[in-house]
Amino acid sequence: QVQLQESGPGLVKPSETLSLTCTVSGGSVSSGNSYWSWIRQPPGKGLEWIGYIYYTGSTNYNPSLKSRVTISVDTSKNQFSLKLTSVTAADTAVYFCARSEGGSYLVTDYWGQGTLVTVSS
């Protein structure tokens, strides 16, 4: 069974860069049908898809965040990462990493537990 675990600072200052890593176990980030996503949920609000990466490095980002987001993958460590620049209080959220699988249409089938990141000085 695939398991994902988010890690990174729980507190980030405004205008700085949020950096998180997701470690995958029970599966490989290099799996041919798998795409690796980041999704967030601000307190008391709904979920927002941030973007995903394929093991080749190909990415797809939510246009609402595209100018500030970079997702990367490290196949040697079986990890993928999120960087979000110029953060504000509006970026305070629980951040989830997840696996999405399929062909033309990808279903997100495994999620991490999520990690709360607070943006505050």
Partner 1 sequence: DIQMTQSPSTLSASVGDRVTITCRASQRISSWLAWYQQKPGKAPKLLIYKASSLESGVPSRLSGSGSGTDFTLTISSLQPDDFATYFCQQYNSYPWTFGQGTKVEIK
Choices 11-19, 44-52, 69-77, 84-92; region in contact with partner 1 by CB under 8 A? 44-52
Per CB under 8 A, does 78 bind partner 1? no
Closest CA to 96 of 106, 76, 82: 82
Closest CA to 49 of 113, 9, 96, 8: 96
Choices 18-26, 45-53, 67-75, 80-88; region in contact with partner 1 by CB under 8 A? 45-53
The distance of closest approach from Cβ of residue 78 to partner 1 in the complex, given in angstroms and rounded to an integer, is 18
Q: CA 54 to CA 106: how far, in whole Å?
A: 12
Per CB under 8 A, does 121 bind partner 1? no
